[in-house]
A and B are shown apart, each in its own frame.
Chain A
C-alpha cells in the first residue's frame, strides 16, 4: 500500500464538516425542492397548472418566501439548476433569500438514471463528466452542498451485485469530486418501495446496499465527516399486505443504519419516497424515539412530504400564495419536532404508549 496522499487539507476538511453539521443541527432538516423539469410536470399537472418556467418560479417563490419560522427547522434547501439562477418578484435571487435566512443552499448534480445492460431493468446514474468544473461553478454561485440520487429496486433477483457495486462506485466518485470543490455531498442510495416484499426483506437489502456504499466511500478516500446520507427508511413494499407500525419501521431502520453507517457520518437525512406528509413525520418521530443508541443526527430531506399540502393550497393562484406558504411552514415545523422525537402526532397517543411498541432489536 503506498503512503497515503491526503485527498483534502485540514482546512478543507474543517469547512466540509462545519457545513454538514450546520445542515443537520438539532431540530433541522432539508427541503428537497430540486424536482427536475420532468418531475415538476407531474406535480403541476396534478393541480391543473401548466409546466412553464414562470410557474415553476412562482411555485418555488411560495416556498422560499416562508418567514423566519423556518430558520429553526430548515438547515438546507436543495435546488434544481434552473432554480439556482431564478429570482423572486422583487428581483432578489432565490439563493440570496435562502442564505439570508441562515439556510444552506444545495444543488442537485446528477443527470438521471441510465440502464445497466444485462440486468432486470436496473440502472446506474450519470453525471460524472465535467462534474468537477460544474461543482466549482456552483460553489461560486452559492451552493455548499450537493445531491446525487441512485436508485435500486427489490424484486426476485434484484438488486443484483452489479447494480449495488456500480451505484456505490458512482456515488463514491461523485462524493470525492464534490469534496475537492468544497461541496458537501449528500449520498442518496434509494431503494424503491415498489413491490410486495416485507419489512425484513427491505432491511436486509438496505444493509447490503449501505455496506457497499460505505466500502466504496472508504476506497475512494471520501472524508465521511464531510458527507450526509440520504437513504430510504426501511419499510415494506407498497403492495405488501402486512401493515407495520411506525415503531417497527423505526426499529428496522435504525438497526440497519447501526450495522452499516459509521459514527463519523454527522447526519442521516431520510427521503420520504411515496409516504404521505403525516406518515413521513410519524415515522421520523418514531425513529428519533427508538431505544437504540444513534450516533448520527436522524432528520429529513423531504420533497413531497413537505410540499404536498402547499402545492394543493396554491393551485397556481397568486391569491393562494400566503395560505400555501403557511401549509409549508406547518409541515416544516412538524418535521423539525419529529427530528427531535418531540412530535405528538395529530391527536394520537403521545410517546409513552408508543415506547412499549418497540420490538427488541435482536429480533431484527
Chain B
C-alpha cells in the first residue's frame, strides 16, 4: 500500500463536518425541492397547473418565503439548477432567502440514469463529467451540499452485483469530488419499492447495497464525517400483499442501518419514495423510537411527503399562498417531531403505545 496522500486538510474536514451536522441538528431535516423540470411537470399536471418556469418559480417562492421559524424544522433545502438562480418577487435570490433563514442550500448534481447493458433493465447514474468545475461554481453560488440519486430495483436477478458495484462506485466518485470542492455529498442509493417482495427481502437487499456503498466510500477516501446518507426506509414492495406496521418498518430499517452504516456518518435522512405524508412521518417517528443503538441522527429528506398538501392547497393561485404555507409548515413541524421520536399522531396515545409493538430484534 502506497503512503497515504490525504484527500482533505483538517480545515476542509472541519468545514464539511460542521455543515453536515448543522443540517441534521435538533431534529431538523431536509426539504427536497429539487424536482427536475420533467418531474415538476408531473406534479403540476396533477393540480392542473401549466409547467412553466414562472409557475415553478412561484411555487418555490411560496415555500421559501414561509415564516423564519421554519428553520427549526428544516436544516437544508435541495434545489434544482434552475431554482438556484431564480429570485423572489422582490428580486432577491432564493438561495439568499434561505440562507438568511439559517438554512443550508444544496444542489442536485446527478444527470439522470443510463442503462447498464446486459442487465435486466438496470441503470447507473451519469453526471461525473466536469463535476468538479460544476461543484466549484455551485459553491461560489451559495450551495454547501450536493445530492446524487442512484437507483436499484428488486426483481428477478436484481439488483445484480454489477448494478450494486457500479452505482456504489459512481456514488463514491461523486462524493469524493464534492468534498474536494467544499460541498457535503448526500449519498442516495435508493432501492425502489416497486415489486411484490416482502419486508425481509428489502432488508436483505438494503444491507447488501449499503455494505457496498460504504466499502466504495472507504476505497475512494471519502471523509464520512462530512457526508449524509439518504436511503430508502426498509419496506415491503408496493405490490406485496402483506401489511406491516410502522414498528416493523422501523425495526427492519434500523437493523439494516446498524449493520452497515459506520457511526462516523453524522446523519441519515430518509427519502419518502411513494409514501403518503402521514406514513412518512409515522415511520420516521417509529424509527426514532426503535430500541436499537442509533449513533447517527435519523431524519428526513422529503419531497412529496413535505409538499403534497401544499401543492394541493396552492392549485396555482396566488390567493392560496397562506393556506399553502400553512400546509407546508405543518408537515415540516410534524417531521421534525418525528425525527426526535416525539410525534403524536392524533388518535394514538403516543410513544408508549408504539414501544410495545416492537418485535425483538434478533429475528431480523
- Which residues on A are within 8 Å of B, measured CB to CB? 1, 3-4, 10, 13-14, 17, 157-161, 164, 200-201, 204-205, 207-208, 211-212, 214-215, 218-219, 224-225, 255, 258-264, 293-295, 360-363
Question: Closest CB-CB distance, A165 to chain B, in whole Å?
Answer: 12
In Å, the complex CA distance between A215 and B263 comes to 16
The 20 sampled A-B contact pairs (Cβ below 8 Å) are A1-B154, A1-B160, A1-B205, A4-B200, A159-B1, A160-B1, A164-B1, A207-B218, A208-B1, A208-B218, A211-B214, A215-B212, A218-B208, A219-B211, A225-B259, A259-B264, A263-B258, A263-B294, A295-B293, A362-B225
Any chain A CB within 8 A of the CB of B207? yes
* Stretch among B10-18, B93-101, B128-136 lining the A interface: B10-18
In Å, the complex CA distance between A212 and B212 comes to 10
Chain A residues with Cβ below 8 Å from B260 are 218, 262
Main secondary structure on chain B at its contact with chain A?
helix
* B157, B259, B360 interface centre (most CB from chain A within 10 Å): B259
In Å, the complex CA distance between A212 and B205 comes to 19
- Among B3, B14, B200, B294, point to the contact of A362 (Cβ < 8 A): B14
Chain B residues with Cβ below 8 Å from A214 are 211, 214-215
Enumerate B106-130 residues with CB–CB distance to A below 8 Å. Answer: none
Instruction: Name the CB-closest residue of A to B207.
Output: A218
Chain B residues with Cβ below 8 Å from A261 are 262-263
Instruction: Name the CB-closest residue of B to A294.
Output: B263
Any chain A CB within 8 A of the CB of B323? no
Chain B residues with Cβ below 8 Å from A200 are 4
Q: Is A263 in contact with B295, judged by CB distance below 8 angstroms? A: yes
Instruction: Name the CB-closest residue of A to B219.
Output: A211
Q: Is A255 in contact with B264, judged by CB distance below 8 angstroms? A: yes
- Which 9 residue pairs are nearest across A and B when measured between Cβ atoms? A218-B211, A211-B218, A4-B204, A215-B215, A258-B264, A204-B4, A362-B14, A264-B259, A295-B295
* B14, B164, B262 interface centre (most CB from chain A within 10 Å): B262
In Å, the complex CA distance between A214 and B224 comes to 16
In Å, the complex CA distance between A17 and B3 comes to 38
Given contacts A263-B293, A263-B295, contact A1 B263 (CB under 8 A): no
Any chain A CB within 8 A of the CB of B89? no
- Among A10, A158, A295, point to the contact of B263 (Cβ < 8 A): A295
- Among B201, B212, B259, B261, point to the contact of A224 (Cβ < 8 A): B259
Q: Is B258 in contact with A262, judged by CB distance below 8 angstroms? A: yes
Given contacts A10-B362, A295-B293, contact A258 B262 (CB under 8 A): yes
Question: Closest CB-CB distance, B356 to chain A, in whole Å?
Answer: 20
Any chain A CB within 8 A of the CB of B341? no
Any chain A CB within 8 A of the CB of B231? no
In Å, the complex CA distance between A319 and B245 comes to 66
In Å, the complex CA distance between A214 and B295 comes to 18
Chain A residues with Cβ below 8 Å from B164 are 1
Instruction: Name the CB-closest residue of B to A157.
Output: B1
In Å, the complex CA distance between A81 and B204 comes to 37
Any chain A CB within 8 A of the CB of B363? yes
Given contacts A157-B1, A263-B258, A293-B263, contact A1 B157 (CB under 8 A): yes
Any chain A CB within 8 A of the CB of B40? no
Any chain A CB within 8 A of the CB of B66? no
Any chain A CB within 8 A of the CB of B308? no
Any chain A CB within 8 A of the CB of B158? yes
Chain B residues with Cβ below 8 Å from A158 are 1
Enumerate B289-303 residues with CB–CB distance to A below 8 Å. Answer: 293-295
Chain A residues with Cβ below 8 Å from B4 are 200-201, 204
Q: A160-B1, A259-B225 are in contact. List 12 more A-B contacts (CB 8 A).
A: A1-B158, A1-B159, A4-B204, A10-B362, A159-B1, A214-B214, A214-B215, A218-B260, A262-B258, A293-B295, A360-B14, A362-B17
Q: Is B1 in contact with A205, judged by CB distance below 8 angstroms? A: yes
Enumerate B68-115 residues with CB–CB distance to A below 8 Å. Answer: none
Instruction: Name the CB-closest residue of B to A359.
Output: B10
Instruction: Name the CB-closest residue of A to B262.
Output: A259
Question: Closest CB-CB distance, B106 to chain A, in whole Å?
Answer: 21
Chain A residues with Cβ below 8 Å from B157 are 1
Q: Is A262 in contact with B10, judged by CB distance below 8 angstroms? A: no
In Å, the complex CA distance between A201 and B1 comes to 11
Question: Closest CB-CB distance, A210 to chain B, in whole Å?
Answer: 9
- Among B3, B160, B219, point to the contact of A201 (Cβ < 8 A): B3
Chain A residues with Cβ below 8 Å from B201 are 3-4
Instruction: Name the CB-closest residue of B to A5.
Output: B204
* Complex interface bits, B147-170 against A, C-beta within 8 A gives 1, otherwise 0: 000000010011111001000000
In Å, the complex CA distance between A157 and B205 comes to 36
Chain A residues with Cβ below 8 Å from B360 are 14
Chain B residues with Cβ below 8 Å from A17 are 362
Question: Closest CB-CB distance, A156 to chain B, in whole Å?
Answer: 8
- Among B159, B261, B294, point to the contact of A262 (Cβ < 8 A): B261
In Å, the complex CA distance between A205 and B218 comes to 11
Question: Closest CB-CB distance, A256 to chain B, in whole Å?
Answer: 9
